Structure 1
């Protein structure tokens, strides 16, 4: 039994409150309040009127820090820590062994050093932003079919609903499919999908990225793209700086050679990934939509083709790319710092879903 299922059993029903005021009067020590503000791993079932960061972990796999300002995921391999180390380590070595020598020369190398630090800071900042931001998580238990009979889900909820689009007159096959999420108990908006790793549905869900330990969705997609751009440019300037140093001094440069080899190898994957997302967004597709079209688990090396009858097609490559990369973030619908009242259905788990046919 996973830790998520254990929490589901622990909080199967709303906490009972005072019948007159409707609020819970339990109090906690200042130490526990401070601890829960610093890190909230399992949520808190003792308080039913609190901020979101103390309730969201009860219905998802999120972990919050600093009062909901930073989020991560529990029970992961923490590959993102290795990625962060891979970003910081070359900067430290470059600062110790290379930066001063290049900066003090009179040959005009200072801009190269400056731009390396600038794009490195961009990559590091937006890596953290992508990893800790709300990707566009949707609240749970908004569309509950039946409150009686053990919250049964009617069989028709397992079907998708097809809505017409402005292009339906020209292309009758152009449609938008709306599906019901039996895990979150909501009708998902267009392009939203459920992430089993995070335990929530995400708006304009592109994919769950193990490298940043977070989903890439509507509210952090632009951060992810800027992170890739910053990483590629920082590696290019690192290659330029190291190449100049090796050309000027052909001996006693072991760290310079190490940094040059590292930069040449480490630039490949983010450059391929950046190119992939540029062409993907140019066809007005998310990674999840593309995977359904090509039926493969490795889309990076698969030829990208426009999706037939795509209702979101904007007409040109640039408009498509801008529509996805620069789409409005929208408000956080599951705010970690927002307050909620007692008995809020979004923050407790109901029995496992089943249909009439499964009874």
Structure 2
């Protein structure tokens, strides 16, 4: 049965509803966030808003406090869902490195067949132009691609995310190009919800104080949930309110959290900033790009590609004058043919020399045989060699003297004189 992309996904994400929703590996923390939002609101609606509705009796205006709290909470939860359950801008990983980026580097060579050959090198960085300024991008070994500008690899989700901001454990998802807008709206809306609950709780305490002659302690004792809600919202405001202010600064200067923390001390020029107003328009008024991944598509596995072999520079067509071949392979093939020819020629000349000398002129021991062979050996092909025992210069192939001598002596020692000569 064919599998879908989300079933063989190499990242650490979790999918539900057949790949329609994508979460981070720490999606369980999302339940904690839901409780931190819904539980205080439920307490507020039951113990505060329900009593305040009677304080604005004309035209039932008091019900608006309860309705606003419920609607505002639903709005915050929807933003939380849009932030955590969608693709943040994951860049699909490649099945093999980009072959067009391979280069042969002569400074780093390998010894193959006695010849120094340049090896394949892969540049770890390259430069791209952003607003007329060169920006260096890095190669990702995990995803096997050059990361686009402002892209980073999330170690938690194990994905390269476009315009990576940070990984938020409270929403259980990376914050990137496709969900940053919803993340900021979620944080800022949570801030407003905290202010609203805090204000209405304080208003209810004020109403109780009026009923008890302005005594604060009696009012607090009569409504402990209001006091707890005020304390909870005050503490939460330091967190979500501070986070909202920080991201307002990042949006105005067109930075990401990752860039701010990593490059703040480098005093780099921000090549992405287009002015404060345009920076805000870019975040809130531009169309969100569609996802690069179709997680429900049928997965089609590509056949593995063998890695390119290291080749010498002499294999180019202009050097060989025809179809390029490996220099080492040519050396071995032609060298073996020359060795066979030289050995066969020496054996024939030895036979002819023995027949011409006759039985009386034969040597009687191995030392004399060696001297005859070395003295009567046919002239060999002599020329200079390069890098190995076999070489090529000016289009002619040549054999080294030491190789030819060794092969000649070996063949000659295996020679046995005819029967009539031994007698």
TM above 0.5, one fold? yes
Change in Cα spacing, 1:104 to 1:55, as seen in structure 2 (3 Å) is: farther
From the superposition, tell whether residues 143 and 343 of structure 1 become closer, same or farther in structure 2 (CA, over 3 Å): closer
Report the 3-state secondary structure (helix = DSSP H, G, I; strand = E; otherwise coil) of the residue aligned with 1:138.
coil
Tell me by how many angstroms 1:341 deviates: 4.4
Q: Determine the structure 2 residue equivalent to 1:235.
A: 194
TM-score (norm 2): 0.60
Distance 1:199 1:102, change over 3 A: same
Relative contact order higher in (CA < 8 Å, ≥ 6 apart): 1
Alignment correspondent of 2:233: 263
| Distance apart, 1:319 and its partner CA | 1.3
SS of residue matched to 2:287: coil
User: What SS is found at the alignment partner of 1:223?
Assistant: helix
Q: Does 2:139 correspond to 1:164?
A: no
Out of 189-198 and 321-330, give the one that drifted further. 321-330
The aligned residue for residue 9 of structure 1 is: none
How far does residue 290 in structure 1 lie from its aligned partner after superposition?
A: 1.3
Cα deviations by residue, 1:43-80 (Å, 9 ceiling, x for unpaired) = xxxxxx33322222xx0101111111222233x48433
Q: Secondary structure at the match of 1:179?
A: strand
Specify the alignment match of 1:36 in structure 2: none
Change (3 A) 1:344 1:275: farther
Query: Do the aligned residues in 2 keep the contact of 1:140 with 1:186 (CA within 8 Å)?
Result: yes
* Residue number in structure 2 paired with 1:68: 19
Q: 2:48 aligns with which of 93, 98, 111?
A: 98
User: For residues 295-353 of structure 1, what are the alpha-carbon distances to aligned partners after superposition, in whole Å with 9 as ceiling and x for unaligned?
Assistant: 5xxxxxxxxx9x64322120x2121133234443211112223x1343158xx9x99x9
Q: Distance in 2 between matches of 1:265 and 1:78?
A: 23
* Deviation of the 1:154 alpha carbon: 5.5
Q: 1:84 aligns with which of 26, 34, 56?
A: 34
Q: Given the superposition, is the C-alpha separation of residues 61 and 165 from structure 1 closer, same or farther in structure 2, using an over 3 Å criterion?
A: closer
For residues 114 and 61 of structure 1, the distance between their equivalents in structure 2, rounded to whole angstroms, comes to 40
Q: Where does residue 343 of structure 1 map in the other structure? A: 301
Q: Unpaired runs of 5+ in structure 1?
A: 1-25, 27-48, 148-152, 169-173, 296-304
SS of 1:104's equivalent in the other structure is coil
Segment drifting more, 138-147 vs 175-184: 138-147
In the superposition, the TM-score normalised over structure 1's length comes to 0.70
Residues 150-189 of structure 1 aligned to structure 2 (within 5 Å): 155-158=121-124, 160-166=125-131, 168=132, 174-189=133-148
The one of 217, 221, 227 aligned to 2:180:
221
Whichever structure has more helix as a proportion of its residues is: 2
| 3-state secondary structure, aligned to 1:184 | coil
Contact 1:102/1:109, CA 8 A, preserved across alignment? yes
Query: What CA distance in whole angstroms lies between the structure 2 residues aligned with 1:277 and 1:154?
Result: 44
Larger radius of gyration: 2
The CA RMSD measured in Å over matched residues stands at 2.8
Q: Could you say which residue in structure 2 is the equivalent of 1:205?
A: 164
> C-alpha distance in 2, partners of 1:165/1:215?
24
Q: Any conservation in 2 of the 1:218–1:327 contact (CA below 8 Å)?
A: no
Given that 1:50 and 1:341 are in contact with CA atoms closer than 8 Å, whether structure 2 keeps it comes out as yes
Q: Secondary structure at the match of 1:267?
A: helix
Counterpart of 2:89 in structure 1 is 136
Aligned length: 276
